Structure 1
């Protein structure tokens, strides 16, 4: 079984939380690793995602946490939405 790992950097403009990880993380850039394995017995090369992890800095140490990639995508989309300032009082 062949596994490949790809790494990308994601950036949050605001503090964020992720399902399964306690606490709120500060805004900033974070490395995300995706592990994929080859799907055998196909006439073309294809991969299936088997794990996604994020590197977090906590208490002066780097920690790697497994995450749901769908949750990560949702949080990134939510972070990218513009904030609407409150309406002035009438």
Structure 2
């Protein structure tokens, strides 16, 4: 089965909190990887997302360790929407 990873960058304008984290994360740009698998048996190529990961700390931020943490796309979207609303 074919697979691919697509990379995007998300920007938070202020500190934010994600489910599963006790402390808020600082504002900034964050790399997010989406792992996808090709759906077989279709006449056109279609991709199904099987996992999403956010890279911590954010781009240009220093920290004691770098890690790639699984994240639910719905949780990421909710955090970005909250950031955009200014709440």
Shorter-chain TM-score tier: 0.7 to 0.9
Cα distance, 1:44 vs structure 2: 1.2
Query: Within 5 Å, which residues of 2 pair with 1:26-45?
Result: 26-45=26-45
RMSD over equivalenced CA pairs, Å: 1.4
Query: Within 5 Å, which residues of 2 pair with 1:8-87?
Result: 8-57=8-57, 59-82=63-86
d(CA) in 2 for partners of 1:21, 1:6: 24
With structure 1 as the length reference, what TM-score do the two structures score?
Answer: 0.84
Cα distance, 1:59 vs structure 2: 3.7
Contact 1:20 1:67 in 2 (8 A): no
* Structure 2 residue runs without a partner (length 5+): none
Report which of the two structures shows the higher radius of gyration computed on alpha carbons: 1
With structure 2 as the length reference, what TM-score do the two structures score?
Answer: 0.87
Any idea what SS the aligned residue of 1:11 has? strand
* Structure 1 residue runs without a partner (length 5+): 84-90
* Number of corresponding residues: 83
Contact 1:14 1:79 in 2 (8 A): yes
Q: Which shifted more, 59-68 or 15-24?
A: 15-24
d(CA) in 2 for partners of 1:9, 1:52: 12
